Amino acid sequence: MRRVDLSTGEALVGLLEAYGVDTIFGIPGVHNVEMYRALPASRITHVLSRHEQGAGFMADGYARVSGKPGVCFTITGPGLLNILTPLGQAWSDSSPIYVISSALDVRDSAQGRGRLHEMQNQRQAAASVTSRSVIAYTPKDVQDAVATAFAAFSSSRPRPAYLELPLDLLKEASGEGWAPRNLPLRPQPSAGQVKEAARLFSEARHPLLILGGGAAEAGPQAQAIAEMTGAIVLTTTAGKGVIPASHPLCLGARMAQSPMKKLMQEADVILAVGTEISETDLWEASIELPGKIIRIDLDPEVLTRPHASQLAILADASLALKALAQALSSRDTRKFRADNEARVEGYLGREPEGEDESRALLRQVLTSIRSALPRDSIIASDMTQIAYAANEIFDMEVPRSWLHPVGFGTLGFALPAAIGARIASSSRPVAAMVGDYGFQYTLNELGTAAELGQPLLILLWNNDALGQIRDDMVSKGIQPNAVTLKNPDFQALAKAYGCNADQPRSLDELHATITRALKNRGPTLIEMRPSMVAGSGRRRS
């Protein structure tokens, strides 16, 4: 069939493939089947989720690991509304997701005629959690919308986009013009700004480097700058692994800790790359940073808030840091670097001493998990007590490997995000780290995981409670209420979906169980309880 003989829905699939899309997550329905007509003849793999929320989180996990846009097909009305939570998460965490949804025929749109899936303003709902939302009325509109979405994905801060296609347009003849367009590159830093940044950072007596998720591709350059200057490195949660946690200058994702905030306030020059330095990085509304701040980011608004910048560089992080490393003046920083390495080592060595009983218990569990998993493993974590601890103390050596719903703070993220990560990187071990309550938001995606048949670890922390909320209530003088729950038999539930399941009784058993699960065919649910620490033969520090 000639391209001009295709419907717009069919031509859309070919255009997405031409832009490099290899996977689409979604659910076919009566209002979007025309988007599925051309899929069997394409090279695109379709992943059938069990809920649109799962599809959105899968696309997010895929995007965070691959760096490519995660694409979803949804239907009008409830399909779109179901995926808005993942879109909100992707928007707040700078993850490129492209949601393409059907809509009512143009003549029926928002007319109140009682049509199936009718909404007053579907696009406006999507606009609240996307960087661009477009309704297409002609085949040319579709071509333009897809081009502008991929232009933004390739050149600016990665955030979700939305395209709405009326039913009558999906069936309309496509016509011509369905070739992909050339996409812009990310901006380069100006030579003058690089020179000034090099001067400021070279002359600093207490330089500090802060790396966010926007620095994911700039690890080697950032590490070179840290080593040349002897600067200590902090990362955000999204920046875990940009510089290996084992690097002697790296303090990791500990910005919320009081000593780290003091370190930030004592720095006379901070080089902040790809980070907002936001409330969810610091776990407080604001912080005074009296030192000079050099900011490198793709988002011009981030360059100006919430902290004033001495130097605001709108540029790709890799390009900017490479140029900065080349411009830094040569000086002997061996003693300064050695002193800072000693400070990092001393702090990390003392960190366990001040932990309460809950954090100490979680550290033992996380240490066992970390020792069993290969260093390049990918972990998608949920909003759960064990993950909050892991955000700080679980070491990552590779960027794009720690996926956590930081900004929007959604529950149910981990399992579907891990499935998306598994598809994006089939050669690396992948695990989901979930709590017993949040897991139940999207546990139906066990069916998707089993259907894919790929190894996937589901590390389930089961304390029969909303543990973090319970502890927060106690700390605020509130009598704990509505924080205990009756859980299902997770072992039987996993097996009902065709997954493997295990429940280790000690930390040694946990280590052995993870090692076995890495070799299993298909997913394995590993149910962990606090009692397994007491059941261990020895305490792991």
- Tell me the C-alpha distance between 520 and 513, whole Å: 11
Query: Are 208 and 268 contained in the same domain?
Result: yes
Question: Buried (b) or exposed (e) across 396-433, using 16+ Cβ within 10 A?
Answer: bbbbbbbbbbbbbebbbbbbbbbbbbbbbbeeebbbbb
Contacting residues for 466 by C-beta, under 8 A, at least 6 apart: 437, 482, 483, 484, 485
- Tell me the C-alpha distance between 164 and 181, whole Å: 20
- Tell me the C-alpha distance between 187 and 345, whole Å: 37
| Whole-number pLDDT of residue 114 | 66
| Whole-number pLDDT of residue 539 | 39
Query: Are 287 and 394 contained in the same domain?
Result: no
User: pLDDT at residue 331 above 90?
Assistant: no
Mean pLDDT, the chain, rounded, equals 93
**Which tokens is 386 given?**
């064990």
**Is 242 strand, coil or helix?**
coil
DSSP run (H or E) holding 304: none
**With 0-12 CB in 10 A as exposed, 13-18 as middle and 19+ as buried, what is 519?**
exposed
**Which tokens is 151 given?**
């232009």
Percent of the chain with pLDDT over 90: 84
- Tell me the C-alpha distance between 63 and 95, whole Å: 6
Query: Are 359 and 346 contained in the same domain?
Result: no
| Whole-number pLDDT of residue 227 | 96
Q: Which residues pair with 23 in a beta bridge?
A: 45
**Which tokens is 159 given?**
């955030």
252 and 401 in contact (C-beta within 8 Å)? no
Question: Buried (b) or exposed (e) across 246-270, using 16+ Cβ within 10 A?
Answer: ebebbbbbbbbbeebbebbeebebb
CA nearest to 110, candidates 102, 118, 98: 118
User: pLDDT at residue 1 above 50?
Assistant: no
- Tell me the C-alpha distance between 403 and 413, whole Å: 9
Assigned domain for 80 exists: yes
User: pLDDT at residue 351 above 80?
Assistant: yes
380 and 433 in contact (C-beta within 8 Å)? yes
Given pLDDT bands bounded at 50, 70 and 90, which one contains residue 343?
very high
Assigned domain for 184 exists: no
379 and 434 in contact (C-beta within 8 Å)? no
- Tell me the C-alpha distance between 166 and 100, whole Å: 11
Query: Are 116 and 39 contained in the same domain?
Result: yes
**Is 464 strand, coil or helix?**
coil
| Whole-number pLDDT of residue 538 | 42
* Average confidence (pLDDT) over 153-167: 96
CA dihedral 182, 188, 190, 195 (to 10 degrees): -160
Given pLDDT bands bounded at 50, 70 and 90, which one contains residue 536?
low
- The number of folded domains in the chain is 3
| Whole-number pLDDT of residue 541 | 32
Please give the backbone phi and psi of residue 287, each rounded to the nearest 5 degrees, phi first.
Answer: -145, 140
Assigned domain for 432 exists: yes
Query: Are 453 and 346 contained in the same domain?
Result: no
Query: Are 280 and 318 contained in the same domain?
Result: yes
**Interval 386-396: pLDDT, tens:** 999 999 999 99
| Whole-number pLDDT of residue 117 | 67
Query: Are 160 and 295 contained in the same domain?
Result: no
Q: Which of 316, 350, 384 is the last residue of a domain?
A: 350
Assigned domain for 182 exists: no
Contacting residues for 346 by C-beta, under 8 A, at least 6 apart: none
Given pLDDT bands bounded at 50, 70 and 90, which one contains residue 267?
very high
Q: Which of 320, 350, 380 is the last residue of a domain?
A: 350
| Whole-number pLDDT of residue 17 | 98
Query: Are 218 and 307 contained in the same domain?
Result: yes
Query: Tokens 């994006």 sit at which residue?
Result: 424
* Average confidence (pLDDT) over 279-307: 87
- Tell me the C-alpha distance between 326 and 211, whole Å: 19
* Average confidence (pLDDT) over 119-137: 92
**Interval 297-316: pLDDT, tens:** 999 999 988 888 899 999 99
Query: Are 401 and 525 contained in the same domain?
Result: yes
Assigned domain for 181 exists: no
| Whole-number pLDDT of residue 113 | 67
Percent of the chain with pLDDT over 70: 96
Domain that holds residue 406: 355-534
Assigned domain for 179 exists: no
Given pLDDT bands bounded at 50, 70 and 90, which one contains residue 501?
very high
Assigned domain for 186 exists: no
Query: Tokens 């309550």 sit at which residue?
Result: 437
Query: Are 252 and 361 contained in the same domain?
Result: no
CA nearest to 82, candidates 52, 62, 56: 52
Assigned domain for 206 exists: yes
DSSP helix, strand, coil percent of the chain (3-state; round to 5)? 45, 15, 40
Query: Are 519 and 384 contained in the same domain?
Result: yes
Of 155 and 108, the one with more pLDDT:
155
CA nearest to 503, candidates 527, 487, 524, 520: 527
Given pLDDT bands bounded at 50, 70 and 90, which one contains residue 148?
very high
User: pLDDT at residue 161 above 70?
Assistant: yes
**Interval 11-64: pLDDT, tens:** 999 999 999 999 999 999 988 999 999 999 999 999 999 999 999 999 999 999
* Average confidence (pLDDT) over 108-132: 80
| Whole-number pLDDT of residue 30 | 85
Please give the backbone phi and psi of residue 91, each rounded to the nearest 5 degrees, phi first.
Answer: -65, -45
227 and 207 in contact (C-beta within 8 Å)? no
| Whole-number pLDDT of residue 121 | 87
Q: Find the length of the chain.
A: 541
Q: Which of 118, 141, 170 is the last residue of a domain?
A: 170
Whole-angstrom CA distances from 316 to 201, 239, 368 are 19, 15, 37
Contacting residues for 507 by C-beta, under 8 A, at least 6 apart: 364, 365, 368, 532, 533, 536, 540
- Following DSSP, what letter does each residue of 131-161 receive, concatenated? SEEEE--SHHHHHHHHHHHHHHHHHS----E
Query: Are 145 and 12 contained in the same domain?
Result: yes
| Whole-number pLDDT of residue 396 | 97
**Other CB atoms within 10 A of residue 46 CB:** 16
| Whole-number pLDDT of residue 111 | 66
* Average confidence (pLDDT) over 443-447: 97
| Whole-number pLDDT of residue 287 | 83
- CATH number of the domain that residue 40 is part of: 3.40.50.970
